[in-house]
Amino acid sequence: MKELALAFLFSMTTIYSQQTPDYRQQNFKLINPDDSPAQIISKAANVIPLPRQYNWQKLEFISFLHFGINTFTDREWGDGSEDPKLFNPSKLNARQWAKALKNAGAKMLILTAKHHDGFCLWPSKYTGHSVKNSPWKNGKGDVVREVSEACKEYGLKFGIYLSPWDRNNPDYGDSPKYNQYFRNQLKELLTNYGEITEVWFDGACGEGPNGKKQVYDWQSYYKLIRELQSDAVIFGMAPDIRWVGTESGYGRETEWSVIPVDLSRLDDEKLLSKNPLDEIYQPKDFMGEDLGSREKLNSAKGLFWYPAETDVSIRPGWFYHSGQDKEVMAPQKLVDIYFSSVGRNGVLLLNVPPDKRGLISASDSKSLNGMNRILKKTFGRNFLSDAKIKSRDMEKTFNASIITDKTAYWTTSGMRDTSSIEFVMPGIRTFDVAMLQEEIRVGQRIEKFHLDYWTGKEWINFVSGTTVGYKRLLRFNPVKAGRVRLVIERSRLNPTISNFGLFKLAK
């Protein structure tokens, strides 16, 4: 065996420099009727995210702000009949929102520009049901602009929620007319407020005043977004990001980003499109516990990269209600949610609703700061930062900077889909958290792994997992050891690792 001193990570067997991948049509794969199970697995292993999907995944923790006419009516869903004069925050401070979320560790703020009640937080020229007819700033205010500018000041990405369901608009239910209205409003938001990183759609849909259910023209919405904000991801009712399936903040223990999709309608002409999936995607919720196992893939008509966003509110409701001030999630609960969302190959979307004053409450900020303190302290020291590694596969010595500056990742040589690597620390250390990351820009591949520690006589398994994806976090009973081993038991082709660490959970 050879040994290699390591600063933070490791290298083994094969090291590849992280050159920019060719993303063209790599976020999906067509499945042919005569493809064997092995061919399907090979295709699944080589589905990769688009650049916009990868950049979104790296954000890890983002925020939602539900704010609007419902804040002043003390409701969750308005009916569209509200008087705009009710909207009158006395101390609205978007900079306070951005600062609170930045201090909490969030990387993006998504604002409810329009909820189901149809009330617009910007002075839309297509409706009177907006801030322009409110007493706030004498009708001259624009919440969307203030939030957009605050995000720029504090280095946050900015996203918008625009509800397709509009209970105020008289044309809702007259599908062609309303679709044009919706596109008009979408264009306002996409052209007047700088860079938009995420456009958030839910699937709420009802009957209009004419008694007919609105039929949304999703493909036209996608086209407009791609034209005006080509780097933006679209959540929910689009093929970029999917809803995890609950509003609890908890993802699946086994969370695949590569899942089946029916691509039978993707003909040669549509394949020439810049965004082929947009042409044929039919919105739906993916609610099952098993979305991407080998069994699911074997009956697929196609595969695509469709990662999970995991949403939850810091309070029981999504909008602010004073009666819930004592029901704000504690920092420890938020940390548990972080481990169960970001730590399960998802992105955490945490809702923090401003109150009637237009401020994030002190109780919410306190919990956010407490969560961030625990996470920063937990991940402040990687116990493997000064470890040595052993592997029978070690062939060459590499400088640690190759990996610490994210210019390389580890994978096995040849066709090996299993492996193990041993870490030898300078002394006995106590840890109860493990973190693994795959290099998803070449695919999500690991299906099963476990970690062992050495007692001096034998290896003892102390934690196991299935999928890794962008990030996997595992907690376990404290382990005292100086040697540990990562064992990859099963993978779709060669596994990859871009990061690995052991930590101690802070209190």
Beta bridge partners of 434: 474, 502
Q: What's the pLDDT score for residue 404?
A: 38
| Strand ranges inside 115-223, DSSP E | 157-162, 198-200
Predicted pLDDT at 376 = 97
Fold type of domain 2-22+382-503:
Jelly Rolls (2.60.120)
pLDDT-derived band at 11, boundaries 50, 70, 90:
very low
Q: What residue type is 179 in one-letter code?
A: N
Who contacts 322 (Cβ-Cβ below 8 Å, separation ≥6)?
Answer: 74, 355, 356
pLDDT exceeds cutoff 80 at 219: yes
Q: Among the CATH numbers 3.40.390.30, 3.20.20.80, 3.40.640.10, 3.40.50.300, which is that of 53-254+307-377?
A: 3.20.20.80
Over the chain, what is the mean pLDDT?
91
User: pLDDT tens-digit profile of 371-423?
Assistant: 999 999 999 999 998 888 776 554 543 332 333 345 677 788 888 899 888 88
Nearest to 61 by CA among 299, 311, 300, 298: 311
How do residues 69-112 score in pLDDT, each as one tens digit?
999 999 999 999 999 999 999 999 999 999 999 999 999 999 99
Say if residue 18's pLDDT is above 70.
no
Q: What pLDDT, on a 0 to 100 scale, did the predictor assign at position 26?
A: 85
Structure token pair of residue 326: 């004592």
- Which of 157-178 are b and which e, b meaning 16 or more Cβ less than 10 Å from the residue's Cβ? bbbbbbbbbbbbbebbbbbeeb
State the pLDDT at residue 316.
98
Distance (Å, whole) CA 110 – CA 385:
36
User: What pLDDT, on a 0 to 100 scale, did the predictor assign at position 392?
Assistant: 54
Q: Kindly list the domain boundaries of the chain, sorted by start residue.
A: 2-22+382-503, 53-254+307-377
pLDDT tens per residue, range 172-218: 999 999 999 999 999 999 999 999 999 999 999 999 999 999 999 99
Whether 297 and 303 have beta carbons less than 8 Å apart is answered as yes
Tokens of 454: 């050495």
Q: Is the pLDDT of residue 23 over 60?
A: no
Output the pLDDT for position 406: 57
Asked if the domains at 2-22+382-503 and 53-254+307-377 fall in one CATH topology, the answer is no
Looking at residue 414, its pLDDT comes to 83
Q: Provide the residue type at 277 as one letter.
A: L
| 142 vs 8: which has the higher pLDDT | 142
Strands (E), 202-319: 233-235, 242-243, 258-260, 302-305, 308-313
- The pLDDT of residue 173: 97
Residue 499's beta-bridge partner residues? 437
Residues in Cβ contact with 407 at an 8 Å cutoff, skipping those fewer than 6 apart: 17, 18, 401
242 close to 283: Cβ distance less than 8 angstroms: no
Q: Is the pLDDT of residue 464 over 50?
A: yes
Residue 198's Cα: distance from chain center in Å? Answer: 10
Say if CB 501 and CB 473 are below 8 A apart: no
* DSSP string for 92-126: --HHHHHHHHHHHT--EEEEEEE-TT--BSS--TT
Helix (H) / strand (E) element for 151: namely helix 143-154
Residue located via tokens 């050495």: 454
Q: Which of 204, 201, 194 is nearest to 219 (CA)?
A: 201
Mean pLDDT for 31-51 is 96
Smallest CA-to-CA distance from 295 within 470, 5, 40, 19 is with: 40
What are the residues whose beta carbons fall under 8 Å from the beta carbon of 490, sequence distance 6 or more?
A: 417, 418, 446, 447, 448
Rounded Cα distance between 190 and 227, Å, is: 10
- The angle formed by the CA atoms of residues 424, 430 and 433, to the nearest 5 degrees, is 90
Pairwise CA distance, residues 111 & 440, whole Å: 29
Copy the structure tokens of residue 132: 């322009």
pTM of the shown model = 0.94
The gap between the terminal CA atoms of the chain, to the nearest Å, is 39
